Amino acid sequence: MDKYIKCSSTKLWIAGIILMVFCFTTNTFAQDSVATDSIAAATQVIAATTSPVEAGVPDTIGDLVNGVNTVWMLLAAMLVFFMQPGFALVEAGFTRTKNTANILMKNFVDFMLGSLLYWIIGFGFMFGAGGFIGMPHFMDLSFYDGGGLPSEGFLIFQTVFCATAATIVSGAMAERTKFSMYIIYTVFISVLIYPVSGHWTWGGGWLMNGDEGSFMMNTFGTTFHDFAGSTIVHSVGGWIALVGAAILGPRIGKYGKDGKSKAIPGHSLTIAALGVFILWFGWFGFNPGSQLAAATASDQIAIAHVFLTTNLAASAGGFFALLASWIKYGKPSLSLTLNGILAGLVGITAGCDAVSALGSVFIGAICGIVMIFSVEFIDRVLKIDDPVGASSVHGVCGFLGTILTGLFSTSDGLFYGAGASFLLAQLFGAIVIGCWAAAMGFIIFKGLDIVHGLRVPHRVEEEGLDIYEHGESAYN
């Protein structure tokens, strides 16, 4: 009996344990099922919540790269546009009060008219398919493949460069040019002179054609190099300015009966100095912006290097111009120091990507010193009246900086053991583009002078262009 009771008790314990395990397992499966259903529901909620965000996320890394590059290009274009008021203030400060409104008006016209004309036809002449000149596009930008960059954005970036080339001329021909004639020759610069030489270079033309069997490769074994426009922008504007000032003739009272040059001081070095500071700042878009890309590590290194070389050249140009003027004239000249800064900036623009930091200092110093002697030579020997020194700063130093790139380039320069081929290519390109700009400038200015006359009457020049040309004065 006791044995039976013990056996039954054991069976009851076993049955109880089995029942407990069954209940626990069933409950667990039920909880897992509920949890699974909860996770599925939560996943659906999250998916529904995040799907609109994911729809706006770029599909590829390439989209992000193009976005960064586009923003960088447009930011650089803004900086280059800001150079326009810099030019206006420099020219106004170096000239007399009675012509200030005329100077300011011309700088606005440069950008307004230049933007319209370059959009309508100039951009196609520069970047369209063709040999000597690109095909006209007449406002249709569909022909241009920006390689990931929007064609409209690239048009804006190139427009501000075109306006820079046009505005250089106004300073050299200031205080005696008819406003109507100024508008006409600005049209020719914006739609013909600058776009054609730009097509030879940045537009993929013959000076930068590195294909096997091309003219430059057969002749020099290398192509012409102008990273941001020492020749393409500044030298073009400078040579046109020199020719225009020569045809126009000097201002009344500039040269005495004995032929000696007389100084005609500008009305405000304060305004001129502010303009140079603005130009210096804007040049950080002009040169680094020409990289046109900022997304990759190599782009960022290149941009930083160009920033450094640009700033060092400007500093060296200004400082050595200060020293040279101090030694030559006995006083450190502010006006020549200001132009020395600009000379250094213009000189380094061609090779800012290719020279070392030390090389940029040499280029800036050489341009700053040469600028002083160039201003004196043009004024006293050639008897060409250039009120702001644009011919020397942009023409001479743009040419010189392009040549010096052939000496100081760390990869192809003569001073780095690469031979003279690159130097000769630089010299050839600078001469060809300079001759093109000077010849076209002569034809245009001489034609306008014969047909209508470039210069205002003596009375207008003596009393000021502001009232007679615009009916208002900058200063009351």
Distance CA 256, CA 233 (A): 35
- Of 41, 57, 73, at which residue does a domain stop? 57
The larger pLDDT score, comparing residue 25 to residue 95, is at: 95
Within this chain, do residues 396 and 271 fall inside the same structural domain, yes or no? yes
Within this chain, do residues 5 and 137 fall inside the same structural domain, yes or no? no
Within this chain, do residues 33 and 78 fall inside the same structural domain, yes or no? no
What are the pLDDT digits (tens) for 118-144?
Answer: 999 999 999 998 888 999 899 999 899
Within this chain, do residues 141 and 119 fall inside the same structural domain, yes or no? yes
The whole-chain average pLDDT of the chain stands at: 89
The whole-number average pLDDT for the span 299-314 is: 98
Distance CA 213, CA 230 (A): 27
Within this chain, do residues 116 and 237 fall inside the same structural domain, yes or no? yes
The whole-number average pLDDT for the span 450-464 is: 96
The larger pLDDT score, comparing residue 19 to residue 178, is at: 178
pTM of the model: 0.87
The whole-number average pLDDT for the span 39-57 is: 43
Within this chain, do residues 329 and 232 fall inside the same structural domain, yes or no? yes
Collect all residues with Cβ–Cβ distance below 8 Å to 21 and sequence separation of at least 6. Answer: none
Does the pLDDT of residue 108 top 60, yes or no? yes
The pLDDT score that the predictor gives to residue 31 is 42
* 476: in domain: no
Amino acid at 190: S
The whole-number average pLDDT for the span 282-307 is: 96
* 475: in domain: no
Does the pLDDT of residue 53 top 70, yes or no? no
The pLDDT score that the predictor gives to residue 357 is 98
CB of 445 closer than 8 Å to CB of 244 = yes
| 390 closest CA partner among 168, 163, 165, 230 | 168
The whole-number average pLDDT for the span 392-419 is: 97
* 214: in domain: yes
pLDDT > 90 in the chain, percent: 83
The larger pLDDT score, comparing residue 14 to residue 202, is at: 202
* 404: in domain: yes
Question: How many of the other CB atoms lie within 10 Å of CB of 277?
Answer: 13
The whole-number average pLDDT for the span 57-66 is: 78
The pLDDT score that the predictor gives to residue 413 is 97
| 339 closest CA partner among 261, 284, 275, 285 | 275
The pLDDT score that the predictor gives to residue 10 is 42
The pLDDT score that the predictor gives to residue 59 is 63
Distance CA 218, CA 243 (A): 33
- Could you tell me the CATH number of the domain that includes residue 97? 1.10.3430.10
Ranking 10-14, 202-206, 214-218 by mean pLDDT, the lowest is 10-14
The pLDDT score that the predictor gives to residue 407 is 98
The structure tokens listed for 133 are 């000149």
Within this chain, do residues 26 and 79 fall inside the same structural domain, yes or no? no
The whole-number average pLDDT for the span 89-97 is: 98
Within this chain, do residues 51 and 70 fall inside the same structural domain, yes or no? no
Does the pLDDT of residue 366 top 70, yes or no? yes
The whole-number average pLDDT for the span 204-215 is: 94
Within this chain, do residues 153 and 290 fall inside the same structural domain, yes or no? yes
- Which range marks the domain in which residue 69 is found? 63-470
pLDDT > 70 in the chain, percent: 88
Does the pLDDT of residue 27 top 50, yes or no? no
The pLDDT score that the predictor gives to residue 183 is 96
- Of 57, 82, 100, at which residue does a domain stop? 57
The pLDDT score that the predictor gives to residue 61 is 84
CB of 383 closer than 8 Å to CB of 332 = no
Question: How many structural domains is the chain composed of?
Answer: 2
Within this chain, do residues 368 and 271 fall inside the same structural domain, yes or no? yes
Collect all residues with Cβ–Cβ distance below 8 Å to 160 and sequence separation of at least 6. Answer: 77, 80, 81, 83, 84
What are the pLDDT digits (tens) for 143-183?
Answer: 998 778 999 999 999 999 999 999 999 999 999 999 999 99
Within this chain, do residues 15 and 92 fall inside the same structural domain, yes or no? no
Residue 408 binned pLDDT confidence (cut-offs 50, 70, 90): very high
CA dist 277 to 28, 321, 343, 389, 452, Å?
77, 16, 13, 17, 38
Residue 469 binned pLDDT confidence (cut-offs 50, 70, 90): very high
Q: How would you write the chain as a 3-class SS string?
A: CHHHHHHHHHHHHHHHHHHHHHHHHHHHHHHHHHHHHHHHHHHHHHHHHHHHHHHCCCCCHHHHHHHHHHHHHHHHHHHHHCHHHHHHHHHHHHCCHHHHHHHHHHHHHHHHHHHHHHHHHHHHHHHCCCCCCCCCCCCCHHHCCCCCCCHHHHHHHHHHHHHHHHHHHHHHCCCCECHHHHHHHHHHHHHHHHHHHHHHCCCCCHHHCCCCCCHHHHHCCCCCCCCCCHHHHHHHHHHHHHHHHHHHCCCCCCECCCCCECCCCCCCHHHHHHHHHHHHHHHHHHCHHHHCCCCCHHHHHHHHHHHHHHHHHHHHHHHHHHHHHHHHHCCCCHHHHHHHHHHHHHHHCCCCCCECHHHHHHHHHHHHHHHHHHHHHHHHHCCCCCCCCHHHHHHHHHHHHHHHHHHHECCCCHHHCCCCHHHHHHHHHHHHHHHHHHHHHHHHHHHHHHHCCCECCHHHHHHCHHHHHHCCCCCC
Distance CA 329, CA 310 (A): 28
Residue 346 binned pLDDT confidence (cut-offs 50, 70, 90): very high
Within this chain, do residues 205 and 351 fall inside the same structural domain, yes or no? yes
What are the pLDDT digits (tens) for 416-438?
Answer: 999 999 999 999 999 999 999 99
Residue 56 binned pLDDT confidence (cut-offs 50, 70, 90): low
